[in-house]
Amino acid sequence: MWALRAHTTHLKLTPKQDSGWGNYISPFYETVMSVVFGEQFMFEIAVEQRQYKTYVLSDQTTQSQVAVVPERGGIVISWQMAGKEVFYLDAERFKDPTLSVRGGIPLLFPICGNLVDDTYTVDGQSYQLKQHGFGRTSNWEVTQQSTEGGASVTVTLKSSPETLAVYPFEFELNYIYTLRGNTLELRQRHTNFAAKPMPFSTGIHPYFAVDEAVKSQLTISLPSTEYQIKGAPEVQSFPGTFDFSQDEIDFAFINLTGKTAQVTDPVRQSKLTIEFDGNYSTLVFWAVQGKDFYCLEPWTGPRNSINTGTHLLTVAPQETVETVITMTVEAIAA
């Protein structure tokens, strides 16, 4: 295969409009163009100082853009496709560093969901973790950037005295976001530096934008017909549609028969496809009446798995467990 690659680095010091996020100064761009058998890709990474330092990944050929904020939980807060926003974001909560973010893609580690009494036990010692763990509220840092084959940043979280007080394992997490065309890949690496095996669950909690008035028009395809409601042990049969007139829907789908979920939105004229690897055992659908979002969340383990052991992942000392999720958004005809 013959390939021609051109790489340039330049400064850009003029203000730019950020499609709903206000004016900013973009002090640094790295741009790469690849030409392979007539196909062209141009990827960029810009670092911007908004309220929080923000890394903006762009694919110019598809007019797609992803914004990552490391210090607010390593979170993606925006994904735009040709100017259309994929994610919901509660901007007021995002501005307040004392509150968890409701929107974008919160990162769940080392548990997904809640524990009974927020408590778990390791080696006879009890510890407490709040819902979804500390990954989504921690200050991550960007440790790598790349524009080869996609616009990519790696956000890293390492164990600290604060994490060791609630989770007695030395670890390093390297989560890699890669934007390529109309696909966003999340490649998550979990390394155990403790002297004993490290149990954990990981997942994401993406908030997808949808107008409240048209939720019932969504076509949702899930790889399971069995689910549990939060707080109830009974397994129920899914009829194929959700009743969005309820105050809240919080269904954890189990016994998955596949690793792909799709949501078609005829109003936004888009189809979302989420794919995840074999580490993921649970798919949660969450929606709240009156809010313009729905959540479709791949989890490796269900609620309380660190206590029950159900689908709990374990990484041996000095080893790494990798999990992968991809999300693709396609335009559909009206």
- The CATH number linked to 132 is 2.70.98.10
Instruction: Calculate mean pLDDT across residues 183-192.
Output: 98
CA angle 63-65-69, nearest 5°? 170
Counting residues of the chain whose pLDDT is more than 70, the rounded percentage is: 88
Is residue 41, in this structure, part of any structural domain at all? no
Task: Give 232's pLDDT tier (boundaries 50, 70, 90).
Answer: confident
- Lowest average pLDDT, out of 27-36, 101-110, 274-283, 324-333, goes to 27-36
Residue 54 forms part of a structural domain: no
Rounded distance, CA 98 to CA 150, Å?
A: 33
The dihedrals phi and psi of 161, each to the nearest 5 degrees, come to -55, -35
| C-alpha radius of gyration, the chain, whole number | 20
Q: In this model, does residue 14 exceed pLDDT 50?
A: no
Please name the amino acid found at residue 297: E
In a domain, 183, yes or no: yes
Structural domain total, the chain: 1
Considering the entire predicted model, what is its pTM?
Answer: 0.88
Range 189-201 average pLDDT: 98
Domain containing residue 246: 90-334
Residue 233 CA neighbour count, 13 Å, CB half = 3
Residue 153 has pLDDT above 90, yes or no: yes
Q: pLDDT by residue (tens digit) across 70-115?
A: 999 999 999 999 899 999 999 999 999 999 999 999 999 999 999 9
In a domain, 69, yes or no: no
Q: Find, among 130, 196, 190, 148, the residue nearest to 168 by Cα.
A: 196
Domain for residue 211, yes or no?
yes
